Amino acid sequence: MSLSKVVLSSLMTFSTTSGPGPAVRLHSLHAATANPKLKILHIIRHAEGYHNVNNSYRNPKNIDAQLTPRGIDQCQALSQRLQVENISIDSIVASPMRRALQTAYHSFRHALEVEEDEHDKKQDANDNGNNKNDTPLPFVACENWRETVNYICDARLPCSQLSSDFPYVDFDMIQHEDDPIWKYYEEKYGDNNAYVKIRESKDDESLVRRGRAAWDTISRRPDEERSIAVVSHSAFFMHMFTRPELNLVSYHDEEVEELMTGSGFENCELRSVAYEII
């Protein structure tokens, strides 16, 4: 069996739901007050990464791009806002890309109760022989919520490296050590130098498969988690929320539809909605 078929087969394991209808119905946030069956989702795009500066998406230095100092400042501002507005969450579901994990860490550090910086936390974990540190807040990495895989900045680092760099994150849902999606499109189109156009963003089958699996991940969170933060990416959000032909979400009212489709997500922007899995 060719490498492309092997990788494509592994990608199929991301799909845990199917069917012609939307996977989720979104409501305006105030609807959660009137309907206790609805849960709350705080949807956040990662803060500014080095690949965002001058649109350096194809620079090999930006593989699995990290946040810039300005991006970290954006996260700290969001953290202050969350505390001032008393916005609490029960769990974090984040893309396994470094910029998303860093955004979640710096934005919710007050809730994670992680006092050390990332380097010290990593060193402490390695010294203790344990790379998974408990925090009061579940913080899980989910492949289904990662960015659409188009450029080298979207290629994921090995899971073992990520789990070492982010010891307070649960990587149990990441099924592959190396990045199967990037490998699949690299074999299909060529490497970063040979092919300069978009990859997964023109593959609607993959987008629908991953989009449905992303919502299935949310549906499987424990019932007691009533308020969940999802940290992901702008292109994936664009496909998820603004392309009705993919039929991934439906909107209960015009207010929430305008919120999610009226404009693209800015770096470190948060939008809060009520939701029900359907």
Domain ranges of the chain: 3-277
Q: What is the pLDDT of residue 125?
A: 42
Q: What is the pLDDT of residue 38?
A: 97
Token reading at 134 = 């408990």
Q: What is the pLDDT of residue 132?
A: 52
List, for residues 247-272, the tens digit of each pLDDT value.
999 999 999 999 999 999 999 999 99
The pTM of the full predicted model, rounded to 2 decimals, is 0.89
Token reading at 44 = 């956040």
Q: What is the DSSP string of 94-160?
A: E-SSHHHHHHHHHHSHHHHT--S-HHHHHHHHHHTT-S----SS-EEE-GGGSPP--SGGGPPPPHH
Task: Name which of 57, 169, 173 is nearest 105 in CA terms.
Answer: 169
128 or 97: which leads in pLDDT? 97
List, for residues 214-239, the tens digit of each pLDDT value.
999 999 999 999 999 999 999 999 99
Token reading at 80 = 């202050």
Domain 3-277 CATH (choose: 3.90.650.10, 3.40.50.1980, 3.40.50.1240, 3.30.930.10):
3.40.50.1240
Cα dihedral: 118, 119, 124, 127 (round 10): 140
Percent with pLDDT over 70 in the chain: 86
Percent with pLDDT over 90 in the chain: 82
Residue with tokens 């939701």: 275
User: In angstroms, rounded to a whole number, what is the distance separating the alpha carbons of residues 122 and 258?
Assistant: 41
User: In angstroms, rounded to a whole number, what is the distance separating the alpha carbons of residues 92 and 42?
Assistant: 9
What is the dihedral sign for C-alpha 71, 74, 78, 84?
positive
User: In angstroms, rounded to a whole number, what is the distance separating the alpha carbons of residues 208 and 218?
Assistant: 16
Are the beta carbons of 69 and 130 closer than 8 angstroms?
Answer: no
